[in-house]
Structure 1
């Protein structure tokens, strides 16, 4: 199936096929569930380009997420130069950037979203604390949304009004996803010295993020409610894309609901361990959407 996907995506050069296959191996390792969803629910010709975008985003995060803020800023500046050169030349010494350059050539919208993502990374490497809801919304607008749009732009409708509605739906979805991310990873982030739960909400509930007590439980429930409201508002998102992409987008939204359910079940225990969606429930969701795709 992978060779067929490369053929349909127009990737015929032997070196570039090896490059895309290398990125596929990496994505399957660090994002197995997401890769499985894309493989069975998206048209074959889109799969290599989704893989390239996800691999680039992960590689960027890995490069700029280590060391002091100053170290991360230096790493980002170096990476920014390499990325822009690859897009300008259509080539690179790095396989991940060769794939990105080809994907951007096939899907020109990618180029603009790469630029927005790299600018958003400046905020990602610098932040230490998110003070309040407004600052969280700014973080999502400047970093999280551009990161999502690296792949989401590949699904974007051609009609201008539909594109606007799609982008707004993606914004709502990623706002929910980011809040869920911060809750799922709370214990690890606190140990790392940089968590994403709004400081004013923590103070309002009198919560100690290292203690699994009722105060933290109330904080988690409040944040989960806010994520749920955004997920509900994002429900129409699948209707804005072409029918061939709807199973994947429905599954993406559905997996966020499963993640949110797991966060609610974990409650104050998030102080000591991360949470995640039920694997059987996620597999059932994908199988249901796959059956619906075949049927339709």
Structure 2
């Protein structure tokens, strides 16, 4: 029996069709979200399938928006989004990704509003190609990133309701890290996620970024964005301690490795056009392995009531 199947057993997921849906989501997670997937392996096996389901839902929507035939994307996303929400309301579905999502949402009492907000932000990507101010970008990131963190919190079992605030912040920090790293990739898709007011502050326009040259002004812009993002990471740091001990190594690993993407960008002198910054496998393992050992230790029997979620 594979590790994935053992995790499904641990989670009490017995229905063959439902198991196939979870395995589909796990496959998308392993292929497209390597850092996040590695961190998820530090969770107790019984929790991993639910995280895979949330990732699979987000990734499937992202694939509609960013890949495949450009014509008809809006129609495909609208139709799929409507089907997801209708099926959630009905409590049944034939969509394999939605099947795992439904079960996860029901198991952990995840508000449907988070899913609606996410799908609304995905729809924005089909029509909005730039953001005048950071406040405009924040509205987009609430649905595209903050709600991902909010969906995760019940699975991670908070010991304080304050964990939700920090999860919101960490989701934004992860998203901003992606935006900084992927400037060139996003430009190729016709989008700029760095606020235009930030570009103007450094004497830049969208066309300057489109030239694909890391001029001194562009490098200063990237340094500014990195500094702001690090501040958000710092404000979210305390949230790790507000999770059940068995969940902390997972989030701490993601926190460190995503934050180190910013370090890698700085090591290439803030040239986001030369290559896509990434944290190497050896470093990923160096961060993950000791936390994996801590995670296993944390799974030892706990006092009755330890880590019980505070959902007040």
Q: Assess same fold via TM > 0.5.
A: yes
Runs of 4+ in 1 over 6 A off after TM superposition: 67-70
Residues 153 and 32 (structure 1), Cα distance of their counterparts in 2 relative to 1, 3 Å cut: same
Q: Structure 1: which 5+ runs fail to align?
A: none
Mapped contact 1:130–1:199 kept (Cα < 8 A): yes
Q: CA deviation at 1:295?
A: 4.1
2:32 to 19, 30, 33: 30
Q: CA deviation at 1:225?
A: 0.6
Q: Structure 2: which 5+ runs fail to align?
A: 299-312
Counterpart in 2 of 1:181?
A: 178
Q: CA deviation at 1:191?
A: 2.4
Counterpart in 1 of 2:301?
A: none
Counterpart in 2 of 1:82?
A: 83
Counting matched residue pairs gives 291
2:264 to 262, 265, 268: 262
Whole-Å separation in 1 of the counterparts to 2:292 and 2:56: 24
Judge which range, 106-115 or 184-193, deviates more. 106-115
1:2 and 2:9 matched? no
1:252-291 superposed matches below 5 A:
252-291=254-293
Residues 216 and 197 (structure 1), Cα distance of their counterparts in 2 relative to 1, 3 Å cut: same
State the secondary structure of the residue aligned to 1:28. helix
Please give the root-mean-square deviation of Cα atoms over the aligned residues, in Å. 2.2
1:1-296 superposed matches below 5 A:
1-39=3-41, 41-65=42-66, 71-157=72-158, 162-163=160-161, 165-207=162-204, 208-209=208-209, 210-296=212-298
Mapped contact 1:83–1:97 kept (Cα < 8 A): yes
Whole-Å separation in 1 of the counterparts to 2:70 and 2:133: 21
Whole-Å separation in 2 of the counterparts to 1:77 and 1:59: 13
User: Which structure's relative contact order is higher, taking Cα pairs within 8 Å and 6+ residues apart?
Assistant: 2
Structure with the larger helix share: 1
Mapped contact 1:262–1:275 kept (Cα < 8 A): yes
Residues 130 and 156 (structure 1), Cα distance of their counterparts in 2 relative to 1, 3 Å cut: farther
Whole-Å separation in 2 of the counterparts to 1:136 and 1:81: 25
Residue by residue, what CA displacement relative to the aligned partner does 1:160-193 show, whole Å, maximum 9, x if unpaired? Answer: xx22x21211222122222211111111112222
Residues 174 and 23 (structure 1), Cα distance of their counterparts in 2 relative to 1, 3 Å cut: closer
Residues 277 and 27 (structure 1), Cα distance of their counterparts in 2 relative to 1, 3 Å cut: same
